[in-house]
């Protein structure tokens, strides 16, 4: 009996030592011989912003497939999907007219999916501090005016994603609520914590039963300016936007695999979204996530790791304004009868890694927490139940028991850049990006060994 226990203990100790040694090799490779930063530079500078349906999105597909082939993954292929096609058109323009005749040009962006203004439009502005306050307004006070919702992200939230979630509805539903009351257009305060001149775009929606009105986001500094002017009296706003929607376009998810040696029919999916908004370069959202996952598989291959299960890297298309890539991937997987056993997503920026969330049963949360001893040496400390990600989320519809793991970096600076012109390569730190790639590679390794 004691002999058996001793053998089990020695075996466990040897496995722990092997895991520790391998993970150290992962980090060494990422930090000293990494390709992540150069790959991100190439995606941002050689391709640029990559909204679905654009030429840049098409070139990003070409870029992604070429990179996967360059790194010699076992299989590389494209998965055809249909995606929305919306274009911003001629750059938006807006001005505040104060009651004493002063004119102030503002920084603004049309919200993704908005209609245009059909030339310039001008109307009085009415301000609401929250979306809920707008919903309760008297239609007579709103009719014909441009609604301005000046709802701040809650700076007291330590996790800034919670602050974002608290006012996302202002962007997503604001146009519908304003139009119900007879507004001619809506302006929202950008969803960002800093007070600066960078407006933040993002998706919004209409409903068929409510008239469509133009919708735009003001930079936070211009939102402050407009609010200050309105405190002193009436103000008018001049707005011009040329955006429009087109029929759906053909695009692709880009997929690369390392084939499993023991259970090749069991698949661990991991990735991020290849598309971005059409402003900035999509560096943090989600160029960093794409590169985290590309580099993770490259590192495992470089270290001659032979996975038990098939590791499938997916560059999803169209997360930003439709999630067609994630939805199509999940439904196709089910149609093919694939065995999807876990999924990982990186879509929270390229900042310092903190750990991982698990959207799964207590069994899988416990499994994630068991990895803490292997990863705590690398300053990872978040191993808890939480959110997986938008792209991998649709897998739950077809595989209800599947655990979804979301990469968790530090969140404090993410909404400085989210959907803004400032989301460029220069605002991603090389070492933080490399540490993120190593963290994703390490989780991928540990899941492959323990599932």
Q: Which of 447, 450, 445, 451 is nearest to 305 (CA)?
A: 445
3.40.630.10, 3.40.50.300, 3.40.190.10, 3.30.110.30: CATH of 23-86+247-450: 3.40.630.10
Spatial contact of 162 and 156, defined as CB atoms under 8 Å apart: no
89-242: CATH topology: Glucose Oxidase; domain 1 (3.50.30)
Per-residue pLDDT tens for 4-31?
Answer: 444 344 444 456 668 999 999 999 999 9
Nearest by Cα to 318 from 157, 84, 134:
84
For 92, what's the count of Cα atoms within 13 Å in the CB-facing half-sphere?
A: 32
Residue from 134, 113, 77, 427 nearest 281 by CA? 427
Contact 60, 78 (CB under 8 A): no
- pLDDT at position 9, please? 42
Tell me what pLDDT residue 6 has.
Answer: 41
Scored b (16 or more CB within 10 A) or e, 200-230 reads bbbbbebeeeeeebbbbbbbbbbbebbbebb
The whole-model pTM stands at 0.95
336-393 pLDDT, tens digit each: 999 999 999 999 999 999 999 999 999 999 999 999 999 999 999 999 999 999 999 9
Where do the domains of the chain lie?
A: 23-86+247-450, 89-242
DSSP 118: S
Strands (DSSP E) found in 170-280: 185-189, 215-218, 235-240, 244-258, 263-273
Give the helix/strand (H/E) hosting 177: helix 160-180
- pLDDT for the residue numbered 10: 41
- The three-class DSSP label of residue 326 is helix
Local structure of residue 306 (DSSP, 8 states): -
pLDDT recorded at residue 101? 87
Question: What pLDDT is attached to residue 259?
Answer: 98
Q: In Å, what is the CA distance from 436 to each residue of 282, 330, 356, 398?
A: 17, 25, 11, 29
Q: Which residues of the chain have pLDDT under 70?
A: 1-17
**pLDDT in the model for residue 256:** 98
């Amino acid at each position: 009996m004691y002999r058996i226990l001793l053998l089990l203990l020695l075996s466990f100790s040897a496995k722990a030592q092997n895991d520790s040694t391998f993970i150290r090799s992962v980090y060494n490779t990422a930090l000293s011989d990494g390709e992540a930063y150069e790959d991100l530079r190439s995606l941002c500078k050689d391709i640029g912003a990559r909204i679905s349906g654009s030429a840049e999105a098409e070139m990003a597909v070409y870029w992604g497939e070429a990179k996967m082939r360059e790194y010699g993954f076992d299989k590389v292929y494209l998965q055809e999907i249909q995606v929305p096609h919306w274009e911003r058109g001629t750059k938006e323009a807006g001005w505040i007219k104060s009651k004493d005749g002063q004119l102030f040009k503002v920084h603004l962006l049309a919200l993704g999916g908005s209609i245009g203004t059909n030339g310039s439009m001008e109307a009085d502005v009415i301000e609401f501090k929250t979306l809920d306050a707008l919903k309760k307004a008297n239609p007579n006070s709103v009719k014909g005016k441009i609604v301005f919702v000046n709802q701040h992200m809650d700076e007291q939230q330590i996790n800034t994603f919670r602050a974002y979630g608290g006012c996302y509805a202002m962007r997503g539903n604001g146009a519908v609520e304003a139009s119900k009351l007879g507004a001619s257009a809506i302006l929202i305060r950008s969803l960002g914590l800093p007070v600066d001149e960078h407006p933040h775009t993002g998706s919004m929606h209409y409903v068929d039963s409510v008239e469509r009105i133009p919708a735009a986001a003001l930079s936070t500094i211009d939102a402050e300016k407009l609010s200050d002017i309105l405190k002193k009296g009436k103000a008018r706003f001049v707005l011009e936007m040329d955006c429009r929607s087109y029929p759906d376009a053909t695009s692709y998810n880009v997929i690369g695999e390392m084939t499993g040696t023991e259970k090749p029919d069991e698949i661990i999916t991991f990735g991020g979204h290849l598309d971005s908004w059409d402003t900035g370069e999509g560096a943090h959202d989600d160029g960093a996530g794409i590169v985290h996952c590309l580099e993770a598989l490259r590192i495992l291959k470089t270290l001659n790791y032979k996975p038990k299960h098939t590791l499938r890297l997916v560059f999803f298309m169209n997360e930003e304004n439709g999630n067609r890539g994630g939805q199509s991937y999940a439904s196709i997987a089910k149609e093919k009868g694939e065995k999807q056993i876990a999924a990982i997503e990186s879509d929270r920026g390229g900042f310092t890694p903190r750990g991982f969330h698990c959207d799964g049963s207590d069994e899988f949360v416990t499994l994630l927490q068991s990895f803490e001893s292997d990863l705590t040496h690398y300053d990872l400390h978040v191993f808890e139940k939480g959110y997986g990600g938008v792209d991998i989320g649709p897998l739950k519809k077809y595989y209800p028991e599947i655990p979804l793991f979301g990469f968790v970096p530090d969140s404090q600076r993410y909404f400085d850049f989210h959907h803004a012109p400032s989301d460029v390569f220069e605002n991603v730190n090389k070492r933080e990006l490399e540490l993120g790639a190593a963290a994703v590679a390490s989780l991928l390794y540990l899941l492959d060994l323990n599932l």
